[in-house]
Amino acid sequence: MIVIVGRDLFFKDKSLVARLIVYFRDKGVTVAHYEGGDTVTRERLNPIFIRQWPRPLHVAFKTLLLLGQPTRWRHLSLRSLQVVYTIPQRARALAEVLRSLGQEREVFLLTRSMGGRLASLVADEAGVRRMACIGYPFQNPEEGPNPDRYAHLKDVRTPFLIIQGTRDEYGGSEIVGKYPLSPHTQLEWVDADHDFEIPDAEWARVLERIHAFFFDEAG
């Protein structure tokens, strides 16, 4: 079973996630898309058709949605931003879901950006078979290096494939040798930025590589 864990900017990855799901389901693999409660809330409050609306209309639309779904308020509260939405809490939420799948099920994590960060924090303890990340967020382009993003990577025991864009603003080709990685981690390159808008032929190669890493090399 493959569990897809996406990036924070979920609206940028709609077509990418759909591509991943279609590819692996066509291969006969069970695929699930994990989304935390905070992500689901933000997605429902920001449908594509309202993103170009004037701010007053945007706010009014979101207010009406929240009035109809009061349980969603907690994901937008200050407490949510300070506590529930922290990386440790989000990682624990993902770990709980993975444990709920049961130890008898082989689980592979296919992640994007922040999803890779969360997965790499919990994969060892959750008993994940293998994981892959398309565009790991080694650094925030506006804030620079932050050890919380990468320090743990040197200790990851779960086989980990990172497919990184050479022009990725969250860590491109300049990161070679900059961030210590576990011997269980493979870092491979694609000519892309963080959004991975690459030709179909290149996508085919990426997907074939991930499939081989998950199922041909797992042993």
Residue 106 has pLDDT above 50, yes or no: yes
pTM of the model: 0.79
- The answer to which of 91-105, 115-129, 131-145 has the lowest mean pLDDT is 91-105
Q: Within its chain, how far is the Cα of 133 from the centroid?
A: 7
Taking the C-alpha atoms of residue 29 and residue 218, their distance in angstroms, rounded to an integer, is 15
Query: Mean pLDDT throughout 81-103?
Result: 79
What is d(CA 40, CA 23) in angstroms, rounded to the nearest whole number? Answer: 23
Amino acid letter, residue 43:
E
Q: Domain-by-domain residue ranges, the chain? A: 2-34+89-216, 40-81
Question: What are residue 132's DSSP bridge partners?
Answer: 110, 161
Superfamily of structural domain 2-34+89-216? Alpha/Beta hydrolase fold, catalytic domain (3.40.50.1820)
> Which has the closest alpha carbon to 27: 206, 219, 207, 218?
207
Q: What angle do CA 182, 187, 189 make, to 5 degrees?
A: 165
Instruction: Please give the structure tokens belonging to residue 195.
Output: 């959004």
Phi, psi values for residue 145, rounded to 5°? -60, 140
Per the CB < 8 A criterion, the answer to whether 130 and 160 are in contact is yes
pLDDT, tens only, 174-187: 988 899 999 999 99
Average pLDDT over residues 98-111: 89
Copy the structure tokens of residue 51: 């993103």
CB count, 10 Å around CB of 176? 11
**String of DSSP letters for 4-62:** EE--S-GGGSHHHHHHHHHHHHHTT--EEEE--HHHHHHHHHS-GGGTTS-HHHHHHHH
80: pLDDT confidence band, cut at 50, 70 and 90? Answer: very low
